[in-house]
Amino acid sequence: MRLPDRYCYGTLFACSGMDGENSHMQDLAGMLMPTPVQIRFDAKTNPVTLAVDVTDARMDFVLSDALQSRELLLVFAAKSALVGKTDRPVRMFAEQEAARSVVDGADVLCADGWCYALLVQNGRFAFCREATPAAAAAAAKETIGRDVVSLRDAILAYYETKPACRREAYEQLYYKCLSVNRVNVYSPQDGFSCRFTTPDRLPHKQMWLWDSMFHAMTFAQYDPQMAKEALLAVLEAQREDGFIPHMMKSVTDTSAITQPQVIAWAALTVYRATKDRAFLAACAEKIAAFELWFLKHRDLNGNGLLEWKTDYSNVRCRCDESGMDNSPRFDTTETLDAIDCSCFMVHDCRCLAEIYRVLENEPQAARFRQIADDMAQKINDLLWDEDRGAYCDRTLSGKLTHVLSVCSFLPLFAGVCTPERAARLVEHLHNEKTFATPLPVASISRDHPDYGADMWRGCVWLNFNYFILLGLRRYGFDDEAQRLLERTLQCVDRWFRETGNVFEFYDAEDETAPWRLNRKGPQPPVPDYRIRMHAITDFNWSACFTLLMIQDAGKDNDAAFPACV
């Protein structure tokens, strides 16, 4: 078992909800800083950093809740307590001026309404956060007595019980991704009756709809119970009319928009791993209500195709609902019949029909098969751009936009297009003017005037690479699928080896380090998400799709229905 051993800025460090109670919106969540070993625990205005002045930065392993070198062993003992062993100096400091005192032998620093205590004794130390100086000092005194080696061994045992990595070349990346999955789990709280997941503990803290579905699909490969909980938690925030919000701080504190329809696909994936029909039965009607909500509220012109709710006044994030915040697709003033919204609907309704077939509810299975078939026909009739040889969006006034994006390939994923049209789509993967980039598949075509390196304006996202991978296989383009899988893994592994992280998105030209890419604007010289949010580090869905590709789980995950012919 070769664990990740790269120390670098951006690695998350926090207590996982898989180990017991942790905190959602008031978390002791940290991030490794560039200087080893410094971990900044973020707060509203005045973060506190724990520093161990090591002389040798080489690490035995760096995980999300434990790290070890020849000079240091540090682990989380509880949601707000760390314990460590070292002979090197240990200190803590606040970014701004903060009150400091000594309480019962512990150094106590109070900032942003919290009190941090550092207690060092005989080559051991404890670092704790509580509401008062006395409570923090008491927690440190209790924590320093914990057996740090046993805590470490319990964490390592978690990884030892997971399926073996199928590809030796990516073994460290594989365990890095398992670590990212692990750290981004919350214990039940805020009205959620089960554990739930988040995209990244810093800077995001909430639960998000389609992110959680991707997390569930990945947990299904090695922790089916966690997979079920990740999905069921999202359904707990569903409204009576079927709407599911895209972001949830709690069961009731949620956003007013939704996200792409991938929930039936996730539920079906979890079922295939568990064979738990009771789980499907608990999900089916709620998922059906969500799909029907889309049909009722996202087809403004009644033509059988779906639109996203779009905010054209928000230049940096016109279409958060699509998940493609700043895509040039939405650099228009007209609402679009969206190729992605419609394709996701087709795919999810087919998955839902399969769910109802398993549940022996043929009327509902037939109903959602028909919805999918009707919309697939509409996509082919109204969204195919013969001149460009691809699918694209259409304004409500009936004009094709001619904008080619990564969404143009989703009819492969949804099984919508004919073999002839599939072949024309695949030609773009070989065309350097459109999508044959060093790292495929760019989120917008190379020949678009706004193609660049800013999120959805040209960068590569692993979720879409995975969708396209499955679509290529569905239509028999196995060589292209394998090439896409290998090239994606090579890129993710390269930047992991250089930076220690998996990132939110990557450069289609494969030249620029991900945290140097723009994210709704240019980056400062030194990466710091608080100044300008960079491509997020230890991003959970990137870890998920990397895991799925390393294990090649897609060969088994999405064979419920064939391509249209």
Q: Write down the pLDDT at residue 314.
A: 82
Instruction: Determine the 3-state secondary structure of 419 from DSSP.
Output: helix
Residues with Cβ within 8 Å of residue 56, at least 6 apart in sequence: 69, 70, 71
Domain boundaries, the chain: 12-160, 168-557
Rounded to 5 degrees, φ, ψ at 454 are -135, 95
Could you list the beta-strand ranges (E) of 33-113. Answer: 38-41, 48-52, 59-62, 66-69, 72-78, 81-86, 90-94, 99-103, 106-111
Q: Write down the pLDDT at residue 556.
A: 53
Could you list the beta-strand ranges (E) of 376-423. Answer: 384-385, 390-391, 394-395
| Consecutive 10-residue averages of pLDDT for the chain (565 residues) | 96 96 90 97 92 97 98 97 98 96 98 96 97 98 98 98 97 98 98 98 95 98 98 98 98 97 98 97 98 98 97 85 95 94 98 98 98 98 98 97 98 98 98 98 98 97 98 97 98 97 98 94 86 94 98 64 38
Is the C-alpha dihedral spanning 74, 75, 76, 81 positive or negative? negative
Please identify which residue in the block is written with the tokens 């006034």. Answer: 397
Report whether 172 contacts 4 (CB < 8 A).
yes
Q: Write down the pLDDT at residue 564.
A: 37
Question: How many CB atoms sit inside 10 A of residue 5's CB?
Answer: 18
**Biggest CA pair distance of the chain:** 76
User: What dihedral do alpha carbons 420, 425, 429, 431 form, nearest 10°?
Assistant: 90
Report whether 148 contacts 124 (CB < 8 A).
yes
Q: Please name every residue paired with 67 in a beta bridge, in sequence order, or none if there are none.
A: 62, 74
What is the architecture of the domain spanning 168-557? Alpha/alpha barrel (1.50)
Both tokens of 258, joined, read 């939704």
Report whether 318 contacts 309 (CB < 8 A).
no
Give the distance, in angstroms, between the CA of residue 273 and the centroid of all CA atoms in the same chain. Answer: 21
